[in-house]
């Protein structure tokens, strides 16, 4: 749980950094590709090529394609149609995808986890339901693809690590995750990228470096490791903790208007959903992984 909280704080800055300094200024495909390459450089030197089951390699690679490659390509494109608060609003459905995908993999239906995720979704909706821009449908659809693939990636990683309990530190295999992301990001940039919209300032390059190393490299690794140590319901709910955290950053640093009362009420509802899951859904806990 502590890892998920730490990464939530880390990621809270990412939405605003993308929306304020990169969206509409830097080609979205290049931004994603640069993040993939920087994150890959962190983990590839430690990657273990031998002694890792082929199924494990393919599984982690696939989760990288989903959770990083497809997710971030859709996320960055959504900023062309939505404001930062709208992007945060439309991510509130991720918990529902997490619980449904997890149940599908286990061939079960866990109503308590789904109810807890729905309560968290309600809490996030209380925080950020507001007027929508004209392009909200396009942005909404892009973000639902991103939400689904992000959920599928994190649930998939949990199940892959459970299925292959290899006696090797997790960071020695996480490089396959970014290889998978590169399989998506590189062709997308070559086909759809605009070389005329590369970063033009040191600040933009610095933000991309930070997002690649900290938010993508360190953040995705710690998030997935944290996800292996909690049940699916808690993992689903923590996906929505980004909403109040991201809004606080947007408010305090960029002075955007926000309804503090709704922020407090929505945050309280999300906290209540955590209690519901912990109190009534212990049987859905997956085996903790070190």
* Residue 161 belongs to some domain of the structure: yes
**Looking at per-residue confidence, does 11 or 180 come out higher?**
180
Using alpha carbons, select from 57, 34, 12, 38 the residue that is nearest to residue 223: 12
Q: Which residues span the domain enclosing 67?
A: 2-284
**Looking at per-residue confidence, does 102 or 186 come out higher?**
186
- In angstroms, the first-to-last Cα distance of the chain is 13
* Residue 289 belongs to some domain of the structure: no
CB 261 within 8 A of CB 95: no
pLDDT at 290 over 50: no
Count: domains in the chain: 1
* Residue 221 belongs to some domain of the structure: yes
User: How much is the pTM?
Assistant: 0.83
**Looking at per-residue confidence, does 99 or 148 come out higher?**
148
Q: Could you read off the pLDDT of 165-174 as tens digits, one per residue?
A: 888 899 999 9
CB 11 within 8 A of CB 182: no
Half-sphere exposure of 51 (CA within 13 A, CB side): 9
Using alpha carbons, select from 248, 21, 272 the residue that is nearest to residue 128: 248
Give, in degrees to the nearest 5, the angle at Cα 93 between 252 and 64: 90
* Residue 117 belongs to some domain of the structure: yes
Averaged pLDDT score across all residues of the chain: 85
Q: Could you read off the pLDDT of 237-280 as tens digits, one per residue?
A: 788 787 778 777 877 777 556 667 876 787 788 778 877 876 77
- Report how far residue 61's alpha carbon sits from residue 73's, in angstroms, rounded to the nearest whole number: 17
Q: Could you read off the pLDDT of 60-110 as tens digits, one per residue?
A: 999 999 999 999 999 999 988 887 777 877 787 788 888 888 888 878 777
* Residue 248 belongs to some domain of the structure: yes
* Residue 290 belongs to some domain of the structure: no
pLDDT at 284 over 50: no
**Burial environment of residue 172 by CB neighbours within 10 A (0 to 12, 13 to 18, 19 or more):** middle
* Residue 87 belongs to some domain of the structure: yes
* Residue 238 belongs to some domain of the structure: yes
- Report how far residue 164's alpha carbon sits from residue 142's, in angstroms, rounded to the nearest whole number: 33
């Amino acid at each position: 749980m502590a890892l998920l909280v730490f990464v939530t704080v880390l990621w809270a800055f990412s939405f605003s950094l993308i929306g304020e300094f990169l969206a509409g200024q830097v080609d979205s495909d290049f931004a994603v590709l640069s993040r993939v390459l920087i994150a890959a450089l962190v983990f590839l030197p430690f990657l273990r090529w031998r002694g890792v089951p082929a199924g494990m390699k393919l599984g982690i690679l696939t989760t990288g394609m989903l959770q990083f490659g497809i997710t971030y390509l859709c996320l960055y494109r959504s900023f062309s149609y939505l404001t930062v608060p709208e992007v945060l609003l439309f991510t509130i459905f991720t918990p529902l995808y997490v619980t449904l995908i997890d149940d599908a993999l286990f061939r079960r239906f866990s109503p308590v986890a789904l109810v807890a995720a729905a309560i968290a979704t309600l809490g996030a909706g209380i925080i950020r339901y507001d007027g929508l821009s004209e392009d909200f449908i396009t942005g909404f659809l892009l973000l639902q693809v991103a939400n689904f693939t992000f959920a599928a990636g994190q649930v998939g990683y949990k199940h892959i690590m459970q299925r292959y309990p290899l006696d090797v530190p997790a960071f020695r295999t996480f490089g396959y995750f970014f290889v998978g992301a590169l399989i998506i990001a590189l062709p997308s940039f070559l086909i759809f990228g605009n070389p005329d919209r590369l970063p033009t300032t040191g600040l933009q390059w610095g933000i991309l470096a930070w997002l690649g190393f900290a938010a993508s490299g360190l953040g995705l690794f710690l998030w997935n490791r944290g996800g292996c140590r909690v049940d699916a319901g808690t993992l689903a709910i923590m996906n929505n903790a980004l909403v109040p955290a991201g809004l606080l950053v947007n408010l305090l640093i960029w002075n955007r208007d926000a309804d503090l009362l709704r922020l407090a009420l929505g945050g309280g509802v999300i906290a209540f959903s955590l209690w519901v899951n912990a109190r009534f859904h212990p049987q859905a806990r997956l085996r903790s992984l070190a």
